[in-house]
Amino acid sequence: MDEGRSHEMMVPLGETALRSGLVTSRIGHSLYLFHEVDSTNEEAANLAARGAPEGTVVIAEAQRRGRGRMGRRWASPKGLGIYLSVILRPPISPNRTPVLSLLGALGVAEAIERTAGLEAALKWPNDLIVGGRKVGGLLGELCAEASRLQHVILGIGINVNQDEADFEAELRQTATSLKIESGRLVDRAAVIRSVCESLDHWYDRFLSSGVAAILDGVRRRCLTLGREVVARSGDQELRGLAVDLDDEGALMIRDGRGSLHRLYAGDVTLTG
């Protein structure tokens, strides 16, 4: 990456800018900003274990070992993207937590539209798609004792001001950034504030009214529904038509014999 270009692009995040005009009931009231960490999810989990309040947000300018779903690496170059984790403590059972990743994806998609003026879609369960390519993703990790949920860490990664050359060669056909799609630099602090506000709104809706409104919003944006897919979970593979989400956010897939399957976690590839 050209050093001159990268330094020109990087406007460091500051707590004053992140808090300026932020209006939420819980998300972002407690905020930690780091220059570099191994993983914001790890930092948030450590804070949660020490009793950090719900809504605590952890942000880093760079991650040394950022990760996505299925143990994949999440590239986290300094100053170009958003690497953020939120501590949530919903009064639900551990088996209901996957819907929080859908809630997060819905909130981030709205924030992208408001701040970058780009139409954002979702690919089940937690990919953010702009212009047909992946611009971000979410990683939900929980801590529970027996059947009691202690907390959920919702990790969010968004490619903001990367150029094509900033992506590794094998990702350039499938990854994009808000800058690439909008043709301009995007204010990362503004995106973070909008993400916090959207998450706050949808989390409040979830706590007060349940999952139905969340799933309606996800269905409207979900590219996966109505498509032929290959779904993989562990060593199992399923091919069929993605027909809907059930009332907990699981993907419902009808196979070639007409049988309906529910996928609660796994990798999904669109094939038609």
Quick one: 143 and 252 in the same domain?
A: no
Contacts of 46 (CB under 8 A, 6+ apart): none
In the chain, the number of structural domains is: 2
pLDDT tens digit at each of 272 positions of the chain: 444 444 445 689 999 999 999 999 999 999 999 999 999 999 999 999 999 999 999 999 999 876 665 556 767 789 999 999 999 999 999 999 999 999 999 999 999 999 999 999 999 999 999 999 999 999 999 999 888 999 999 999 999 999 999 998 988 899 999 999 999 999 999 999 999 999 999 999 999 999 999 999 999 999 999 999 999 988 889 999 999 999 999 999 999 999 999 998 888 999 98
Quick one: 251 and 154 in the same domain?
A: no
Quick one: 195 and 80 in the same domain?
A: yes
- Closest to 125 (Cα-Cα) out of 8, 252, 9, 23: 252
pLDDT at 84: 97
Quick one: 238 and 217 in the same domain?
A: no
Q: Which domain holds residue 67?
A: 3-221
Where residue 233 sits, what CATH number does that domain have? 2.30.30.100
Residue 118 · residue 124 · CB < 8 Å? no
pLDDT at 257: 95
Quick one: 160 and 245 in the same domain?
A: no
Quick one: 125 and 254 in the same domain?
A: no
Residue 33 · residue 15 · CB < 8 Å? yes
Quick one: 9 and 75 in the same domain?
A: yes
Quick one: 207 and 235 in the same domain?
A: no
Q: Which two tokens stand for residue 19?
A: 């808090």
Where residue 24 sits, what CATH number does that domain have? 3.30.930.10
Residue 248 · residue 96 · CB < 8 Å? yes
